[in-house]
Structure 1
Amino acid sequence: MTSAAPASVTIRPATLEDIPTIIELAEATWEPTYRFIISREQIEYMYRVIYTPVSLQRQIAEEGHTFLLLYADGHPAGYASFSRQPTHEALYKLHKIYLLPSHQGQGLGHHLIQAVEEATSQLGGHTLELNVNRYNPAIAFYERQGFQRHQEVDIPIGPYWMHDYVMRKELR
């Protein structure tokens, strides 16, 4: 069950000082997002690889990931991250997009996608792509946002595999 839509929504770029907020949001969103898709062991492994303070700092400072934080009624409720793909100047990748379970179904994911699209377009991006697990119900959300399935990939992550769709959207 979702609550009423927030009265105010703000999205702003995150800084290194926001890493604790990103971790707090990830802790609240990861397990509910993936518990029916991948094993608990894989969830814990991937979380440790992606969401340590050192890993997030590297993503921001060295790998060029831009994180956006979404605030609903002044409280952090979600985040997204994206970066330019090194192989193609006009291709950007949406690496992460998560909302607190209590804030899903209120149109906030659409706000985050729009913010990423606007930012990437301003940077010269023409195409936005993302990976999503082939069993993730969020596929329907991405399709509603205009993304289309581009290809299937199987990606090793440590001792585990991610069975994903690569989805793409052409930006206007």
Structure 2
Amino acid sequence: MAPPFTLRPATPPDAPALAHVHTASWRETYTGLLPQEFLAGMTDDAARERRQRMWEVLAADPSQIVLVTQQDGEVVAFASGGPARDHPGVDAELYTLYALKSAHGQGLGRALLHALARELHLGGANSLALWVLDQNPTRQWYARQGAREAGEKTQPLPAGGELREVRMVWDNLAQLR
């Protein structure tokens, strides 16, 4: 049986743990899906340090919602969201939702998604969108949570190749509360 988890708002002192989960989950999720050179640059020590500085700022930013789940006192998953950046007609965006592979299948992602949706809805948002890598297995998970596919974008990767992402949208954020 999995240990129970707690869900709470992140604070700047959580930044090292957020950076760890962020880079570790990238390695666990994207190995074999992204070019190794690109992935290495996104998950090495320098990337972890950059992400730590980023999370120190974002966890203190009132325009962002950053939530963490902990098991046995350790951060094992997190989610963040705020105003939609490049989703026309959508109010809010799920910027990140990452969990260590050891925490998968325990309901943490669903709890984070629903808690974030509640916070965004309380702030006046009625719809939510995110970009997900087209090959990411969580694409189907988002669909099972009620999101629909609504377009895609492609970006070139610095190491060659391209990154294709699919927009997932919840038209009625109240469904996730």
In the TM superposition, what is the alpha-carbon distance from 1:53 to its structure 2 partner? 2.7
* Structure 1 residue 50 displacement after superposition: 9.2
For 1:24, what is the secondary structure of its paired residue?
helix
How many residues align? The count is 168
Gaps of 5+ in 1: none
Where do residues 72-151 of structure 1 align in structure 2 (5 Å cutoff)? 72-85=71-84, 91-151=91-151
Q: How far did 1:13 drift?
A: 1.0
Structure 2 residue corresponding to 1:24, chosen from 20, 27, 49: 20
User: Matched residue of 2:40: which SS?
Assistant: helix
Shift in Å at residue 156 of structure 1?
4.6
CA 1:90–1:123 in 2, change beyond 3 Å: closer, same or farther? Answer: farther
Give the 3 Å change call, closer, same or farther, for CA 89–58 of structure 1 in structure 2: farther
Secondary structure of 2:136's counterpart equals: coil
- After superposition, the C-alpha distances for 1:78-127 in whole angstroms (9 at most, x for unaligned) are 01111112577961111111111111012211111111111111111111
In structure 2, relative to structure 1, the CA distance for the partners of 1:158 and 1:120 (3 Å cut) is farther
TM-score between both structures, scaled by the size of structure 1: 0.84
Equivalent residue number for residue 70 of structure 1 = 69
Decide whether the 8 Å contact of 1:49 with 1:55 is kept in 2: no
CA distance in 2, matches of 1:49, 1:77: 15
Cα distance, 1:10 vs. partner?
1.3
Greater mean deviation of Cα atoms: 145-154 or 84-93: 84-93
2: CA distance, partners of 1:32 / 1:55:
21
Distance 1:120 1:62, change over 3 A: closer
Query: Once the two structures are aligned, what percentage of the paired residues are identical?
Result: 27
Deviates more, 1:27-36 or 1:135-144: 27-36
1:136–1:90 Cα change, 3 Å: closer
Give the Cα separation in 1 of the matches to 2:168 and 2:25.
Answer: 22
What is the CA deviation profile of residues 19-78 of structure 1, one whole-angstrom value per residue up to 9, with x for unaligned ones? Answer: 111012223311011102101222233343994333334444569432111112433210
Q: Quote how far apart the aligned CAs of 1:157 are.
A: 5.9
Cα 1:128/1:157, change in 2 over 3 Å: farther
TM-score (norm 2): 0.82
1:5 matched to which residue of 2? 2
Query: Structure 2 counterpart of 1:55, which letter?
Result: M
